Amino acid sequence: MTVVKMDMEQARFNMIEQQIRTWEVLDPEVLDLLAAVKRECFVSAAHQPLAFADIELPIGNGQTMLQPRIEARILQEVAVRNTDIVLEVGAGSGYMAALLASKAEYVYSVEIDPVLAENARRNLQQAGVANVSVETGDASGGWPAHGPYDVIVISGSLPELPEAFLQQLKIGGRLAAFIGEAPAMQARLTTRTSDQAFNTINLFETVVAPLSTAKQRQRFVF
């Protein structure tokens, strides 16, 4: 048992040093969180040896976890504060919610798949994370129930960002999303600067699995 634990800690260290730091994630608080929140506790036993690999891991029902470096970069960019109310769209295994909750006042994580939602709740409970509520539903067009939010993280890609998400941000709030369609997607950070003004920057190019109910972009028919 001790040998396994040592291997896990070495793998975690290697992930942080070789994947995360080299991808412009240098915030010491984020790096400390990645060391403290046990990623292997949010994957199946069969996939634990791969918990720190630079790949999307299957979590059941055809869904996957984001790569560790993408999770870390998004966590750094949204800069969660301890007074923030956070919305996460796509709970998955609960790992990203656990990371966000370690910095936030409270996280509402919405998962459309009831099986994955229950699994996320169980993982979070076993990890001792108390300030997350995993709700079951379709939040691909927004989730006004607990808004407005200080931070919104959309963990699956969308062809376009629905306006509803922007309106559910507080002034000063930050939204991270993956926008576009394969093979051309951008990770974007949008900050609401006033009632009517938003500032959006492209963070990096990537390809992320789409939200299962994402509204597809309308195409011109000639």
Give tens-digit pLDDT for 166-177: 999 999 999 999
Phi, psi of 200 (to 5 degrees): -120, 135
Length of the chain: 222
Tokens of 30: 């984020």
Matching residue, tokens 């001792």: 128
- Of all residues in the chain, the percent with pLDDT exceeding 70 is 93
Residue 104 DSSP SS3: coil
Residue 4 has pLDDT above 70, yes or no: no
Domain ranges within the chain, ordered by starting residue? 2-206
Cis peptide before 183 (omega within 30 of 0): yes
Q: Express as a percent the part of the chain with pLDDT over 90.
A: 80
Contact call for residues 47 and 106 (beta carbons, < 8 A):
no
Distance CA 41, CA 39 (A): 5
CATH topology of domain 2-206: Rossmann fold (3.40.50)
Question: Residue 1 has what pLDDT?
Answer: 43
Residue 158's H or E segment, with its range, is strand 149-158
Residue 164's alpha-carbon distances to 19, 27, 86, in angstroms, are 34, 30, 15
- Report whether 144 contacts 124 (CB < 8 A): no
pLDDT at 212 over 60: yes
Q: Answer yes or no: is pLDDT of 132 > 70.
A: yes
Average pLDDT, the chain: 92
Residue 14: pLDDT band by 50, 70, 90 thresholds?
A: very high
- How far apart CA 196 and CA 192 sit, in angstroms, is 8
Q: What is the pLDDT of residue 3?
A: 44
Q: Identity (one letter) of the amino acid at 153?
A: V
Q: Residue 69: what pLDDT?
A: 95
Structure tokens at 132: 């997350």
HSE, side-chain direction, 13 A CA sphere, residue 67 = 14
pLDDT at 6 over 50: no
Contacts with 173 (C-beta within 8 Å, 6 or more apart), sequence order? 148, 149, 150, 151, 152, 191, 192
> Residue 2: pLDDT above 50?
no
pLDDT band at residue 183 using 50, 70 and 90 as cut-offs: confident
pLDDT at residue 218, rounded to an integer: 53
0.85 exceeded by pTM = yes
> What are the structure tokens assigned to 97, written together?
């919610």
Instruction: Tell me the pLDDT tens digit for each residue of 185-206.
Output: 999 999 999 999 999 999 999 9
